[in-house]
């Protein structure tokens, strides 16, 4: 049985970048909905007791309810964890070294990541992930898919992601997705992203 994770900050803490009303609806309605529907789908399929990562890595053998709601549960859990009201720099260490080797600098990464997020047609996500060789890559997925799933083109372990479904930004940004993406960079918890990288290394 999966439960809705608690946030480490208040709904209003990310303002002006993400408004409190959007955060509350996103967390208590959308994420809670994915959580409830995932639990129902797992119970019906006798899949209770498996980790969400295990389920998603073999999602091709499950039905769409598990794919969509399992992805929604996992993606939003990661999303909340890599946000912070106190934006910070990339900490020194193995992750920063690989990040600089891959993207040269933060501004270049922003260009690649912003393009992946802005050009995702319809609803979906953009990701920074670690592949099977321990390398970083940027990708995007439709709907609630993510790089863990065995049904996407580029596989890996996500360490940072941005939700580009309209429910993530519409109240404040309306159809201005690029403005929302730019604001996102101001509230990334790079220390958490670096920790995610350390845990993802093959």
- Per-residue model confidence as pLDDT tens digits over 94-124: 999 999 999 999 999 999 999 999 999 999 9
Judge whether 25 lies within some domain: yes
Domain membership of residue 3 (yes or no) is no
36 occurs within a structural domain: yes
pLDDT at res. 170: 93
Rounded to an integer, what is the distance from CA 35 to the centroid of its chain?
A: 15
Sequence-separated (6 or more) residues with CB below 8 Å from residue 147:
127, 129, 139, 141, 154, 155, 156, 157, 158
Cα angle 31-35-36, degrees, rounded to a multiple of 5: 120
> What CATH number is attached to the domain comprising 25?
3.55.40.20
Report if residue 35 sits inside a domain.
yes
Structural domain includes residue 196: yes
* Host domain of residue 55: 19-202
Structural domain includes residue 12 = no
Q: Assess whether pLDDT exceeds 70 at residue 202.
A: no
**Residue 37 in tokens:** 């529907």
pLDDT tens per residue, range 29-78: 999 999 999 999 998 887 878 899 999 999 999 999 999 999 999 999 99
Q: How many domains does the chain have?
A: 1
Give pLDDT, residue 75.
Answer: 98
CA atoms of 23 and 169, how far apart (whole Å): 9
For residue 135, being part of any structural domain is answered with yes
């Amino acid at each position: 049985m999966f439960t809705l994770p608690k946030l480490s900050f208040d709904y209003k803490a990310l303002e002006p970048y993400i408004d409190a009303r959007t955060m509350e609806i996103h967390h208590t309605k959308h994420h809670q909905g994915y959580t409830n529907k995932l639990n129902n789908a797992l119970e019906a399929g006798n899949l209770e007791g498996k980790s969400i990562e295990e389920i998603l890595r073999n999602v091709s053998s499950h039905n769409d309810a598990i794919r969509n709601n399992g992805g929604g549960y996992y993606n939003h859990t990661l999303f909340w964890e890599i946000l912070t009201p106190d934006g910070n720099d990339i900490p020194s260490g193995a992750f920063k070294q690989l990040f600089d080797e891959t993207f040269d600098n933060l501004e270049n990464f922003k260009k690649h990541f912003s393009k992946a997020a802005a050009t995702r047609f319809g609803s979906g996500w953009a990701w920074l992930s670690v592949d099977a060789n321990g390398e970083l890559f940027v990708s995007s997925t439709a709907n609630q898919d993510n790089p863990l799933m065995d049904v996407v083109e580029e596989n890996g372990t996500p360490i940072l992601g941005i939700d580009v479904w309209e429910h993530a930004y519409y109240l404040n940004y309306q159809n201005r997705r690029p403005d929302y993406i730019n604001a996102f960079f101001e509230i990334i918890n790079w220390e958490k992203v670096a920790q995610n990288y350390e845990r993802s290394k093959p």
